[in-house]
Amino acid sequence: MATRVIIVRHGQSSYNAEQKIQGRSDGSVLTEKGHLDAEKVGNALSQIDIAAFYCSPLQRAKSTAEVIQSRLNHSPVIQPTSQLLEIDLPIWENMVKEEVKAQYPQEYRDWHQKPHEFKMILPDGQEHYPVLSLYQQAQDFWREIIPQHEGQTILIVAHNGINRCLILSAIGIPVSLYHSLQQSNCCVNVLNFTGDFGDPVQVESLNQTAHLGIALPPPRPPLQGSRLLLVRHGETQWNRDKRFQGVRDIPLNDNGKAQAEKAAEFLRETAIDHAVTSPLSRPKETAQIILQYHPNVTLDTQVDLTEICHGLWEGKLEEEIEASFPGMLEDWKNAPETVQMPEGENLQEVWDRAIACWQQIVKTYSNSDSPKTIMVVAHDAINKVILCYLLGLKPANFWNIKQGNGAVSVIDYPKGVDSQPVLQAINITSHLGAGILDRTAAGAL
């Protein structure tokens, strides 16, 4: 049975407001805003059955945990643990960020550009690698905690840095991409472990902020490049029936149209400058419904965003596929990169065309003097391979990413087309009415 892990970053702290480096300093406390946002997290989680509750012992995280606990219907005792301490930056702690930039310019550049190589020389002459040490700390936490909670839901309240390393290490994302995951104050992330640490882990969602009244996480730092909204089409009847559709042009069902309407309302106040869709009717109709509130945006179609071709699987249910192609469906679930769809595509072919298309979209619409927002509406497999690519993963990691019908993911290119993208959010489905958990149909592609 899967173990669900909900990871929350602490609320805004005094040092956050003052733009100070916190690290493991314990002088930073929750602001009034931080306290109010923690209450909102508690309200969002109040109906979830939580079996264990872990937090960092630093007061900004521990106070957040206590506020959340006060709003839960059923909550276990909070267990502070040093394995959830924030990144250790002893030389920089308590300094304003601008002071750090001025006094340690090379180290600060390394911190942002090469976090896996970033080091500090301590007063005793020892070399300290803060990000590598934190990544190891996260791995140690998972090895100890996950075996204790098979089939349960656990809640973690910690910090920006350790949360990133928890997510990176769980999925197998390279530590060099430490700065590619956003963690907003009081955000919610959801991971689903299929077994112990080292077994496959699914990212159900990353950096949800809608429960705070913030539909999409704001850019950080101020965006100079483009923002892309990656949307999966609404539900079809074949999704609901768990029938493989692939390149079959199956339209939205009534629920899918309702999901698209909810996505439209969710993105109503978001400025959208350009929009691109797969030519199949289910994403195209989803995009058209969303763009009802953005009438001046032209919708472009890109054939390379078409869903994976399942070939002879299309139109079939799982039991029919197993009868015709014994064992192949199990391979698809456990080693998707090894499967050649009969008279269809393999995952590498989908990867190559989808990534090339994505890169071209970014390049085409980022050629501007001002930041632009581009909406891309596509399919489950297409969105998954794009997100895997952006996270430094491979086709073998296909099932590590969840994409619900009507879900929205947010990707920023903070310094332009050639900069390292930042995954601001993955698989936001809260606008569909099910709270922080993805309750969309778990159907076939």
Neighbouring C-beta atoms of residue 386, cutoff 10 Å: 25
Residue with tokens 């039991």: 319
Which DSSP state fits 55?
Answer: E
Q: Is 353 a known ligand-binding residue?
A: no
Nearest to 68 by CA among 8, 145, 12: 8
Task: Give the whole-angstrom CA distance, residue 199 versus residue 197.
Answer: 6
Q: Is 164 a known ligand-binding residue?
A: no
The tokens for 297 are: 């945006």
Long-range contacts of 108-113 (CB under 8 A, 24+ apart): 112/179
Task: Give the whole-angstrom CA distance, residue 210 versus residue 266.
Answer: 9
Task: Give the whole-angstrom CA distance, residue 374 versus residue 408.
Answer: 12
Q: Is 236 a known ligand-binding residue?
A: yes
Which DSSP state fits 338?
Answer: G
Q: Is 435 a known ligand-binding residue?
A: no
Q: Is 345 a known ligand-binding residue?
A: no
Q: Is the peptide bond before 221 cis (omega within 30 degrees of 0)?
A: yes
252, HSE (Cβ side, Cα atoms, 13 Å): 24
Q: Is 311 a known ligand-binding residue?
A: no
Nearest to 384 by CA among 369, 395, 368, 373: 395
Question: How far is C-alpha 58 from the geometric centre of its chain's CA atoms?
Answer: 25
Q: Where in the sequence numbering do the catalytic residues fall?
A: 233, 307
Q: Is 233 a known ligand-binding residue?
A: yes
Task: Give the whole-angstrom CA distance, residue 381 versus residue 372.
Answer: 25
Using N-to-C axis directions, what is the helix angle for 160-171 and 130-145, rounded to 10°?
60
The tokens for 185 are: 């104050």
DSSP 370-404: S--EEEEEE-HHHHHHHHHHHTT--GGGGGGB---
Task: Give the whole-angstrom CA distance, residue 419 versus residue 215.
Answer: 25
Q: How many residues does the chain have?
A: 445
- The helix or strand, by DSSP H or E, that contains position 40, with its residue range, turns out to be helix 32-45
Nearest to 54 by CA among 170, 182, 144: 144
Task: Give the whole-angstrom CA distance, residue 87 versus residue 164.
Answer: 10
Question: Residues comprising the binding site?
Answer: 232-239, 282
Residues flagged as binding site for substrate: 232-239, 282
